[in-house]
Structure 1
C-alpha cells in the first residue's frame, strides 16, 4: 500500500513539475528576451481580454500595455537612462503594475517600497535603492516627505492624485505628466545589450538582521516567478485571480499576477485584505483562484461564518505559510478544492512546491529526483547559529526526520542563480562555501526544516533575529534600535513569543528604564516610529540586560518566560486604540481564549 501511495505521489509531483518547467525552461541568463517581452507577448495574444481590475477601474491587456508605455516614455522624458532606478511607493492599484512594467520597457529598474515604512527605515530603503525619482500616490507621499531627512540625496517626488495646492519645488503631480505621454511601445532598441542578468526590480526583505535589505530581482528571477505559477496553477484566460496581498512583496507582486497576466486571465486587485468583505468580494468578482499568505488564511478561519464563504467559483488557492493546524479547517470550511502551497524566498534560489496538497508540508522532493532539485538540509548548531562541520571541514547532511538548515546550490543557470542584494557584503554573508566538497557554493536560506521518509519538507523556524507577525518579517535589531531612542529607555531587547491562535510570533520588548515607564508616551513613540506589525504587543520591565561573551543579548530565558502574569512582573500589553496597559490575569486569559485580539 505504501509503495502504491508513493507512486501516486510521484506521478502527481511529476505532473506538477512538468507544468512548471514547461514555462521556465526556456529562460536563459544571457538571453536578451526580458520580462516586458513576456508581457507584450500576452498583450498581443489577449488584447481585448480584461487584464486587471481594482476597486475603481478595469483595463484590458491593450489598455494596460498603453498605460505601461506612457510610464516608460515619462521616465525617459525625465532623463532617466537604462540601469537607473525609480522608487515606487504606492498602494495596490492598476497603476502600480503599469508603472514598474513600463519602466522595465525602457531598461529602468524599480524599487518596490513597503507602504508601512516611515521615518528612518523608509529613508534607509530610499537611500539604498539609489533612486533620485520617487513615484507615490495620495496615500503614501506624506511618508516620503517625512523621510527626506534620512535620505542622503535630493529626491524628486511625483504623486498620483496630488492636489495643486500641495505641489512644491521637489514635489509634482504625476497624472497629467503620464497621460500626456505616448501609448506606443518604446522601441526595443532601448533595451539593446540587456540580458536576463540585468535588474528589473528591487524587493525589500528584512533578512535575519538589521534594516531592510534590497534583494536584487533580475529579469530572469521575475520571469521565473511569474512563469512558474502561470504553469503550476494551470491557469487559463478564463481564470480570475483574486489578489489582496501587497504588490511590494514577491508573493503578491509577482507570484500573484503571473497566472493571470501571462495566460490571458484577469487579476482582481484589492487595496488590502479585509476579513469581513473577503468572501463577498471573492463571490461577486467571480474569482476562480486566490493567492494567500498563511496569516490571511488564519484570519479567515477565525472569522464568524459568512453566507458567501462557500458560495464561490474557486478551484485553487496558492501561496505560502499555511499552518498545519489551520489547513484542514480552512480547506474544509470554505470548500476549497485544491491548495498549492510553496516555499521560496525573495532573494534565494531554493523553491519547493506541494503539488499534491499534503496538509502541513511546504513541498516534496521524491528520492528519484533528489539530485535534480536544488535543496539540501545540513545539520545546524542552534548555539553558534552555523551549520555543523565534520573533521574534514565539510558540512553534514541532516538525517531524515531531524531539523537542519535549508541550503541551495549556486550555479550558472536560472534555477541555481543567486542574484543577491544591492549590498554586496550582505550577499556574501548568505553564501556558504566548502559544503559537500571543496570550492562549492551554497545559498543559506536561514530557515530550519525537516524532511520525512516520503520526501515532504516541513518548515520549523527562522534562524536568527527575525520573526514573522501579521504577514511581515520583523527584525529584532531594527526594532531594538528604534526603541533604545524612546523616552526614558536605556536598553531594549526585542524577541518574538508564540501566542495560541496566532501565526508567527508576537513582538515583545524587555526594557531597561532610566526613569519611570510612561505607557502613554511609549505608545505614542512606537506609533510614530514603527510600522504596525513591528510595534511590540507586549512590554516587560527588567533591571538589567544579560549578555553573552560576545555581547549579544541573551534572549533565550526571556523567550521562555513568555507573557504569563505572576511569572513575569511589570508586564504590559498593547491595545490598538488604548496603547499599553498592565497585563492582568483576566486580560491574559482573554488573549488565550481569543476574546481579546492583539
Structure 2
C-alpha cells in the first residue's frame, strides 16, 4: 500500500512540477513581447513575416513537387468545388459566381479550341480592358495550356505590333471597343498569318467575330490531358515592362512566379472572408497577379472597375463592403486631393496594397480615411527580389530580415548616376553601399531566385544580368532601381536609373519617346527625360530637342504625331529647344543637369513649349502656365 501511495505521490509531484514549468514558460512568453519591445520594437511583426514566408514557401514547394503540377488554375477549380455560388467578380451592377466564371471559361476554351485549333503551348495575346471576360478568357486559355500575352490597351501602331510580335502569339483576342486600334495594324497581322478575333457579334474582312461562337459553345469541362505537360517552369504569361530598348519588353512569367505573386495577399494579411477592390489595369502585374490571381489563391470576392475613379472609390467600397484595396501613388494622391466629405472613415477597408506612395500622401491618407494597414511594396515583374512593408512604419517598402535575405540574396551597391553604371574597385568588383546610403539594388541569380528574362530579346535579358559583382563569375539581376537601407533595417525606394521614368503609374521608356519625336519632320534629335512636379507622384515627360536646319518647331503637327503614337502618360508635356545636346564621353546624352533645371521658364533661356491637351497643340511656356502647373490649376 505504501508503495502504491508513494508512487501516486511521486506522480502527483512530477505532474505538478511539469505544470509549474509550463506555467513559467507561458508566463515568460506572455511578457516577452513587453520585455523585447524597447530593444526590438518590430520583433513580433518580423516573427510573423518569417512564419508566413516559411508557410507559403512550404506550400509552393509542395505544389512544385506535385505530380501533376498544381497550378493557380487548379486552385480556381478547387474553389469552384468548395464554394460554387460564392461571388467571384462584382462588375458594374452584375455579379458572377465562381461556378459561372468557370462555365464561361469552359465556353471560351471550347470555342477557341474549335475555331482557332488552339493546343497546349500556343500563345494568345489579349487586347482587352478591365472587364469580367478578361478573367474567364484567360482561365479558358489556361485550361487549354496556352500562355497569354497581356497587351496594354493604351498602346497603338508600332508599339502594339512590337508587343504582339515578341510574344510569338499566333492569335489575337481583342475587345470590340479596340477595333480601330486592331484595324490600324491589321495589314501587318494578316501578312504574318495572325488570326484575329473580336469579342463582338460583328466581324470584318480579316477579323473574326468571337462572341457568338462563345455563346454557342458548350460549357463542358476541359480535360486535364489538354494541359498535361504544363509544369512549374512553363511560361504562363507575358507581361510588358518598359525599359531602355525604346519599346516595351515582354517579361516571361512562369507558373512558379504566378504562385509567388499570388501569395502577396496572404503575406499582407488578406483572408478568405475579405473583398478585394481592383481598379488597376489587368494588363499590369499589380492588377493581374497580386489582384486577380491573389484573389483566386485566397478564394475571395473581387470588385472590378474599368478605371480608377476618385469620386466613386469610397462609394464602391461601402456598397460592396470592400475590405482590401489596391493603389499606386497616383491613386492615393487623387483620393487625398478629392473634396473632403462627412464620414470619410465610414468604410470597412482595413488593408491597402500597392506601391509608389509618397510619405506625405501616406500620412494624409491615414489621417483622412482611418487606420488602414498600408502594405507598400517594391517588386518588378521580371525581378528576382522584392520587399513588402509588413509593419506600420510609414514611408518604407520593406524591412531586412535574415530569412528573406537568405532565400533571395540581394545587396545595394554603389552607383555612379552621372556615368549610369555601378562603381567598381581596383579589382573590377562592385562596392557595397553602407547602411544609410543610396545604392543600386541587385539580386543574386540562383535556382530559388531566378531571372528568366524577356521574350525574343536576348540583348536586353543579358543587359539586366550583372557579372563580377562581389566575386569573379557571379551573376546578379540589375533592378535598375536605387534603394536605401537605414540603421533600423528599413528599406526605402529612392529613384529609378537609366532610361525609364514613371508617370501616372506607368513606366515610360525614354528611347521609345525619343524615337517617336525624331519621326517629326522638324526634329533632328531628342533627349527625353522625366522631371518632378511638386505635388505629383513620379516624373512627367520632357524632351530637349534639336531642330533640323532652318526649320521652326511645328507645334500642331508634333502634338498630333505624339498623340497618334504614344499613350497620354508617355507624351512629353514639355519641349525644350536646344542648339546642341550635351553628350558623355561614351556618347550618351547627359540628362542630370536637364532634370535638375526642370521646366521653369525663369531658369531656362532656351525656348520652352507646353503640351496643351485641350488646344491639341504645344504652346510657348510662360510664367503664368508654370505658376498654374505648380498651383495644380492645370491638370497634368
Partner of 2:85: 48
- 1:428-507 equivalences under 5 Å are 428-507=462-541
Picking from 144, 154, 164, the partner of 1:106 is 144
Give the deviation of 1:307 after TM superposition. 4.1
Structure 2 CA distance for aligned equivalents of residues 2 and 554 of structure 1: 54
Structure 1 CA distance for aligned equivalents of residues 95 and 404 of structure 2: 43
Q: Secondary structure of 1:107's partner? A: coil
- 1:146-225 equivalences under 5 Å are 146-149=184-187, 153-162=192-201, 164=202, 167-225=203-261
TM-score scaled to structure 2, two decimals? 0.89
**Normalized per residue, which structure has more helix?**
2
Partner of 1:574: 611
Picking from 107, 113, 118, the partner of 1:80 is 118
Kept in 2: contact 1:119–1:150 (CA 8 A): no
Give the deviation of 1:539 after TM superposition. 1.2
Give the deviation of 1:367 after TM superposition. 5.5
Tell me whether 1:37 sits opposite 2:74 in the alignment.
yes
Partner of 1:595: 633
Give the deviation of 1:564 after TM superposition. 1.0
How has the CA–CA distance of structure 1 residues 248 and 5 changed in structure 2, closer, same or farther, with 3 Å as cutoff? farther
Partner of 1:97: 135
Partner of 2:37: 4
Kept in 1: contact 2:483–2:493 (CA 8 A): yes
- 1:532-547 equivalences under 5 Å are 532-547=568-583
Q: Secondary structure of 2:70's partner? A: coil
Structure 2 CA distance for aligned equivalents of residues 375 and 462 of structure 1: 17
Structure 2 CA distance for aligned equivalents of residues 548 and 338 of structure 1: 45
Q: Secondary structure of 1:120's partner? A: helix
Query: Over aligned residues, Cα RMSD in angstroms?
Result: 2.0
Kept in 2: contact 1:341–1:357 (CA 8 A): no
Report how many aligned residue pairs link the two structures. Answer: 592
Q: Which has the higher contact order (CA 8 A, sep 6+)?
A: 1
Q: Secondary structure of 1:457's partner? A: strand
Give the deviation of 1:6 after TM superposition. 5.4
Q: Secondary structure of 1:326's partner? A: helix
Q: Secondary structure of 1:68's partner? A: helix
Partner of 1:315: 350
Partner of 1:406: 441
How has the CA–CA distance of structure 1 residues 565 and 3 changed in structure 2, closer, same or farther, with 3 Å as cutoff? farther
Residue deviations 1:68-111 (CA, integer Å, cap 9, x gap): 22222233222122111000010001110111122112110000
Give the deviation of 1:186 after TM superposition. 1.3
Picking from 454, 461, 470, the partner of 1:427 is 461
Give the deviation of 1:264 after TM superposition. 2.5
Structure 2 CA distance for aligned equivalents of residues 108 and 297 of structure 1: 36
Residue deviations 1:256-280 (CA, integer Å, cap 9, x gap): 1244322221110000011222222
Structure 1 CA distance for aligned equivalents of residues 537 and 304 of structure 2: 24
Partner of 1:59: 96
Picking from 419, 422, 430, the partner of 1:395 is 430
Q: Indicate the larger mover: 474-483 or 400-409.
A: 400-409
Kept in 1: contact 2:118–2:144 (CA 8 A): no
Tell me whether 1:337 sits opposite 2:365 in the alignment.
no
Q: Indicate the larger mover: 3-12 or 392-401.
A: 3-12
Residue deviations 1:353-410 (CA, integer Å, cap 9, x gap): 1101211101001367643443211122223322222233332221101111111121
Partner of 2:8: none
Partner of 2:296: 261
- The runs of 5 or more residues in structure 1 that have no matched partner are none
- The runs of 5 or more residues in structure 2 that have no matched partner are 1-33
Kept in 2: contact 1:203–1:215 (CA 8 A): yes
Structure 2 CA distance for aligned equivalents of residues 425 and 540 of structure 1: 32
Q: Secondary structure of 1:348's partner? A: coil
Q: Secondary structure of 2:375's partner? A: strand
Give the deviation of 1:438 after TM superposition. 3.3
Kept in 2: contact 1:572–1:581 (CA 8 A): yes
